[in-house]
């Protein structure tokens, strides 16, 4: 866009939309939940900025109905706002995931989305989704 040249700004929106802006790695600590018990595990999410720009970043995790982010299993979605990430910077966030006596044995899919925002957390430039599973035994 030519208007950015007037103000000395460069337009990087095309670059940010073409490729994935983040690399997302997930890890469960401990690696499983126990069925028919009140217990919890931690979902560790590492996000790395792969672009050459500073990105305003947030991470959203979504759980199935059998699990929750609190002991009552009411909260099924949680957003953590990381803030600005420099190029090639890596940050780690932690989500506490709870099971209870109604969680049957099996594998449950959790969706983690890393979002690049424009100016504030209300505007999205691009996002990267990753699915991971937690075992309930």
**What fold does the segment set 20-136 form as a domain?**
Immunoglobulin-like (2.60.40)
**Distance from C-alpha of 106 to C-alpha of 104, rounded to nearest angstrom:** 6
Question: Considering the chain, what is the average pLDDT of its residues?
Answer: 87
Domain extent listing, the chain: 20-136
Chain centroid to CA 16: 18
pTM: 0.83
Q: What tens digit of pLDDT does each residue of 16-60 get?
A: 566 789 999 999 999 899 888 889 999 999 999 999 999 999 999
Q: What angle do CA 10, 15, 19 make, to 5 degrees?
A: 160
């Amino acid at each position: 866009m030519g208007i950015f040249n007037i103000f000395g700004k460069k337009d990087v929106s095309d670059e940010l939309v073409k490729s994935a802006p983040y690399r997302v790695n997930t890890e469960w600590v401990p690696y499983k939940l126990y069925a028919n018990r009140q217990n919890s595990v931690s979902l560790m999410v590492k996000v790395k900025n792969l672009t050459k720009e500073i990105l305003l970043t947030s991470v959203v995790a979504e759980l199935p109905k059998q699990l929750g982010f609190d002991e009552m299993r009411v909260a099924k979605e949680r957003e953590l706002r990381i803030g600005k990430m420099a190029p090639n910077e890596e940050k780690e966030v932690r989500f506490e995931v709870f099971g209870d006596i109604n969680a049957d044995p099996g594998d449950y899919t959790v969706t983690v989305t890393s979002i690049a925002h424009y100016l504030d957390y209300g505007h999205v430039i691009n996002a990267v989704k990753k699915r991971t599973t937690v075992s309930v035994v």
